[in-house]
Every structure is written in C-alpha cells, then in structure tokens.
Amino acid sequence: MKTQSNIITFAGGEKNLGPYLMFRDYWYHYLSQTSKKNVEFQTVKEDGKPISFSEKEDLMNAALRKEIVRVSGVQNFNELPLEQWVTNPMISWASFAVVSAMIDMILPESIIDTIGLYTDVRTIGWGDSASFEIEPRDLFVVSVHGKSQKSTEVHKQFRGQVTILPVMHELTVQVSLYKVLAGKESLAAFVAKVVRSMETAMTLDAYNAFATAMANLSSTATTGLQISGYSQANLVRLCQQVTAWSGGAKAIIVGTQLGLVNVLPDDANYRYTLNDEYMTLGYVRTAFGYDVLALPQVVDIATPFGTALSNAYIWVLAPTSQKLIKLVLEGSTLSNTDSTFQNANLTQNSTLWKSWGVGVATNAVAGVITI
C-alpha cells in the first residue's frame, strides 16, 4: 500500500521513511508471532544472516528513540544524562507524535487485511466527509413495439448518494517515558498493541454494519437473498443470483471456519481421507464451482473469551463488483499527553484520538444463509 502523504511529510521526505518502513516490517513479524497470520516480513539481515523477532524489536526501539530525538529538535542528546531529557516537554510531545505517525503508517493496510473482503477503506482530511455515489443496478426494459411508432416508454435512472460522517474515538494509555527512553519498556510493542486495539474496534464496527445489512435482506421463497436453512440447492441458487445481479462478477462463499464446515454436498456418500483439503483446512476451498473464503475470527472484548463474528451464517458476496461497507478514516491520529511530573508515580497518560465512520453505501448484491 502506498505510504500516506502526511507520513512522508512528518518524516521529512521519502528518504527519511526508514523508521516507519522498519515498523511496517516489525508489525508483520509481530502478527506472525501473535496471530500466526501468513504475512511477509524480513527474515535476514543485510549480511544474509537470520534475524529473530527479539533482535528486530531491539533495532526497532533504537530507531524509535532516534526518531523521537529528531522530531523533538533537541541538540546534543548524548551530552546530557537521560534524567535531564525526560523532563523536556519536547521529548514527551515528540514521543507520542512519532507513535501517532507509526499508527497511521500501519492501520489502513492492516484493517484492509482483516475486513477488506467486504469493506472499502478510504482516508480523508480533517473536517471532510465522505460521499459515495450509488449507481442504479436495474436494467432498462426493452419493449416489443410497432415499426411506425416513434418511441416507447421512457426510462431514466438517478444516482443515489450516501454520506458518512466520521466519529471521534479515544484510547487512553499509560507509559513510563523514563523506561521507554532507557530501553526498559518496548515502545515498539506498545505501538503494536495500540494498532491492534484500534484495528479490532474498527473491525467490529464494520462487521456489525455488515451483519445488520445482511439481516435486512429480502426473504421471499424463490428469489429472496436471505435463506433459512443450508442445502446445496439453496447455496447454488443464491450464488447464481448474486453473480447474475452483479453484472457477471462471480460470487464467492464466505463465513467463519466453523460456519464453512457445513458447506458440503447433500449426498452423504462422499468420502475423504485425513490428507484431504477438508481435513487440513477445516473447509473446502471450492464448492459447486464457487470459491470459498474463511473470515478471520475477531475477539469480542465485551465478553470474556468471546468472538464477534457469528458462526451461524454463510454469506455470498461478489467483492469484485463493489464492496458493501465503507470505512472512512478522518485525518491523522492525534495525541494528548500529560506533563512530565503531573502524576505522582511519574507515569504519563496519553490519549490517542482516531476519527472514523462506517456505513452501508453500495449497489452490490449479496445474500446470506442461516445454517
């Protein structure tokens, strides 16, 4: 994904993007460690020797401290002891300014990896709103008519418009600036946890909008896009409908891994071995001529050890036609940090502000089957 212009400006030009590109690589390595995602990241050093995650974290923290010093504008950092620099308000401000830029570097592309199948992510400037033009999907009726008649029934279609207004969200965190600058606390791991927390909140907002839209689809017996009860015939019929009404963009079958376990032929005489795809993946990649994709499950922070995505549905989408949900990110991440000695335990609270909005804005067709 192309680096945002505000981050390039903050870094002082593309030639100074090194710490931010390093954090992108660190983030994907972090995901492979914590979420076991299949992502690409640097595995060797410039000399060709392997680099471990712990080594990369040490290098990342050193780069972050160097970037904080650059942004703060302080001179001769190494000529004064650390205890003098932690009282400098510019060091405190620069620390969370760099954190905010690191978040903006990763968050848009990270959220696309999670919800990009059904969500279009757009970034806008501060004070802007996002308007989406919705093209009509109906076709014109072609009439049989007489050879001596000038015209038939006139058809005209009008575009719709959906506006999404971002809403401010806040996250207050606490960090010991002294330990960060001394290398006793990992600022890189701290930033990664903030990114993951915001990503989860955005994912839940997008999924809830998606699930609400699916629950309000028509449910008529023969042409409805909402079907109660899985069967092979129901699934194929729904895939055909979505493909036809999406201008030929082929439908795909989507669900959680637990939900997709049910996508099997009605005939119970099939056989599979322990090495078959169904056993190794937990679902089949292709069913009845349509691709099958599993959505990654998301934590439900409101419920102890709960998960947010329902396992009771199978969705049919045509993501190449148009995404169902729009996620709008407004401006860059802001931070408001306590002064150095404001708290008795010499920790600092910082509130990170991120503005985003979610809405259904599409002319795409989708369907859902309740298992």
The domain segmentation of the chain, as residue ranges, is: 5-114+161-203+333-357, 209-325+363-370
Q: 61 near 187, Cβ under 8 Å? A: yes
Per-residue confidence (pLDDT) for residue 346, from 0 to 100: 67
CA atoms within 13 Å, Cβ hemisphere of 244 = 9
Per-residue confidence (pLDDT) for residue 238, from 0 to 100: 93
Tokens standing for residue 91: 């060091």
Phi, psi torsion values for 247, nearest 5 degrees: 70, 25
Per-residue confidence (pLDDT) for residue 334, from 0 to 100: 85
Beta bridge partners of 356: 167, 329
- At position 58, the amino acid (one-letter code) is D
CATH code that applies to domain 209-325+363-370: 3.30.2320
Per-residue confidence (pLDDT) for residue 86, from 0 to 100: 67
Chunked mean pLDDT (size 10), the chain, 371 residues: 76 83 86 72 79 87 85 76 70 83 84 85 86 84 82 84 90 76 75 85 91 88 87 92 89 92 82 78 88 88 87 91 89 80 73 90 89 88
Which of 81, 116, 80 shows the shortest CA–CA distance to 1? Answer: 116
Per-residue confidence (pLDDT) for residue 102, from 0 to 100: 85
pTM passes above 0.85: no
